[in-house]
Amino acid sequence: MPKDTFFKLPTEKRELIERVAIEEFAEKSLQCASVNAIVHNAGIAKGSFYQYFENLEDLYKHIMGLIHEKKLELIQNLPLQTNGLDSFAYLERLIRASLAFELSYPQLSKVERRHNFENPIFSSIDPETGQRFSGDGRFHAFLQQGVYHEDIATWLDTDMAAYILTIVSQWISPYLLDRLKQDSVREISPDYDLNDSPLLHDLIQNLMDILMAGMSRDPQIRKDFYSK
């Protein structure tokens, strides 16, 4: 966590340091990033850096926290369905938020992708229950709720599904944006309206078809998918 001195800086200077750090971490891993490069590009003394942060890792954690904050803002600003969200509508909402993040904050997205690449997902065992966990623990809870609410099939291997959903959530956005750039006649700029794109709607619907065909409790959904 940055020191109080960092948060007491003028907003312009604080945002400059953050922007320079994001550029550094987007191109280099934490192990290869340089305090010297950051202070040089930000135009601050090296001694000042250590007045703001304990070390380089402290700054890195701050940038990762910014990623979380920006994603939270984006998902909160997405329009909500009036009839509520079932499990798959919630998944689609997460994917749209991830796309909006990729489009709005390309450098932060690069930082996150580098972090995900350099920190692969491993399975772990809960020492108290002996239960196996793979991927993002939040997907485990999500899937269990989906089973409880009868959206997700009871036969589903939730550990494997949580792992797959974690991989999808981390890597699908660059693919979808690349497809948009290839197939769209419109420029894909930061102000591109993701909610008013028939092409994106079709891409996401195809993705949701795949997920629903594999995980839905309703056999008719799977039957409809495979009969297309």
Indicate the angle between helix axes 219-226 and 198-215, nearest 10 degrees. Answer: 120
Q: Which domain holds residue 53?
A: 4-65
- What is the model's pLDDT at position 123? 66
Backbone angles phi, psi at 135, to 5 degrees: 75, -165
Domain presence at residue 42: yes
Domain count, the chain: 2
> Is the CB of residue 70 less than 8 Å from the CB of residue 105?
yes
User: CB–CB of 221/212 below 8 Å?
Assistant: yes
Q: What is the pLDDT of residues 82-137, one digit of tens each?
A: 555 678 888 888 898 899 899 899 999 999 999 998 887 766 666 666 666 777 77
- Per-residue pLDDT of 155-174, as tens digits, reads 888 888 888 898 988 899 99
Q: Are residues 87 and 198 in the same domain?
A: yes
| Mean pLDDT in residue range 43-61 | 96
Tokens of 17: 């340091």
CATH number for position 216: 1.10.357.10
Q: Between these two residues, 16 and 153, which has the higher pLDDT value? A: 16
Task: Classify residue 70: in a domain, yes or no.
Answer: no
Closest CA to 15 of 62, 76, 71, 72: 62
Q: Within a domain: residue 72?
A: no
More confident residue, 15 or 140: 15
For the entire predicted model, the pTM comes to 0.82
